[in-house]
Copies of this chain bind each other. A is one copy, B any other.
Amino acid sequence: MKGISIKDIARQAGVSPTTVSFVLNGKAKEKRISDQVSKKILKIANKLKYKPNQLARGLRTGKTKTLGLIVEDIANNFFANVAKVVEDEADKHGYKVLYGSTEDNSDKARGLLEVLKYRQVDGYIITPAKNMEKEIELLKMVRKPVVLMDRYLPNVDSHYVVVDNFQGAFAATSHLVEQGYKKIGIITTTSDQVQMKQRLDGFVAALKKHGIPFNKNVVKRLPFEMDRAAHTQEIIRYLRTTKVDAVFFATNYLGIYGIESIRSMGLRIGPDVGMVSFDDHDLFRLHSPSITCVSQPIEEIGRQIVNLLMKELNHASSTSQHLVLSPTLEVRQSTQKTVQAELPA
């Protein structure tokens, strides 16, 4: 039950716990501990496989070597993949990750923050839900390192790592236009957060640039909380009524529901309805026809997030870094009006 403590080592080495602590924390020189004693202590610590009790250490120092990761939905492909990278990178620095999903619900998000706070995590990676300005500010006030991801809060000065949503959406929409689609719609979430706004803005800007009038009712907004069936129903109704010939789906799960919807209407993706989705996914790659998408550089996102956090934790604190990475347009078959010699399925 009990682990090896610093006292056990002290006893065996015939020195005080203080000395052991100094040595194990690499302060031997600084604290003028003799080499003999140092080596002896290190040897014993090794033999006993001593691991410091993180609770005790944390209680005293206030550092827990734990990061809090708050995502929208850990079961979502994008977030799960980022989480994996974050975990790996954090591990390299000796940090563990506590996670939680907000379901894009502010109350749930606040609850998570609360819990992480009194668990004393050292740093936060947050996919903010709406109305969380105060909470984030509060973290800054108490000098806790915070990196926002996927989206940021325009009125809060903080680090963040996102992709260029405007460019991504712009490229996707332009591509649809260039492929000859005439009436292009967008299906997005009801969220008015910055990432969704920018995707919508990119969409509108691309239309404008190509001289296509923008009609408000090609924009369909669906709430995150709705279930799968309701989503597809709504999408089907939208497609029926607006008669768009191409759709930009502003996030991955909408793209997936979109595929389902279009197909269940008996329409052909590409010839009848062109589509592009934000985020890549195995499904998009392997679907027939394959789905054109705006792919986020997940590896780099994860790495940069942890990087920033580590810099902050090492007090190399600087002004807020705003990392805007470039997404990539993966052109596939879902944006071709004429059916090619398709890969056989």
Contacts and interface: CB of A to CB of B under 8 A. Distances in A.
Interface of A: 1, 3, 51-56, 58-59, 62, 64, 66, 73-77, 80-81, 83-84, 87, 91, 96-101, 114-120, 142-143, 256, 259-260, 263-264, 266-269, 281-283, 286-289, 343-345
Nearest to A289: B345
Contact of A55 (B64, B96, B101, B142): B64
Interface of A is mostly: mixed
A114 B94 CA distance: 12
A289 B54 CA distance: 52
Contacts of A116: 96
Nearest to A119: B54
A263 B345 contact: yes
Copies of this protein, total:
2
Contact of A345 (B1, B53, B269): B269
A287 B286 contact: yes
B101 A87 contact: yes
Nearest to A121: B96
Given A75-B84, A288-B288, 13 more contacts: A1-B142, A3-B118, A51-B114, A51-B117, A54-B120, A55-B55, A66-B98, A73-B84, A74-B80, A87-B101, A97-B98, A266-B343, A287-B288
Contact of A118 (B54, B117, B118): B54
A53 B87 contact: no
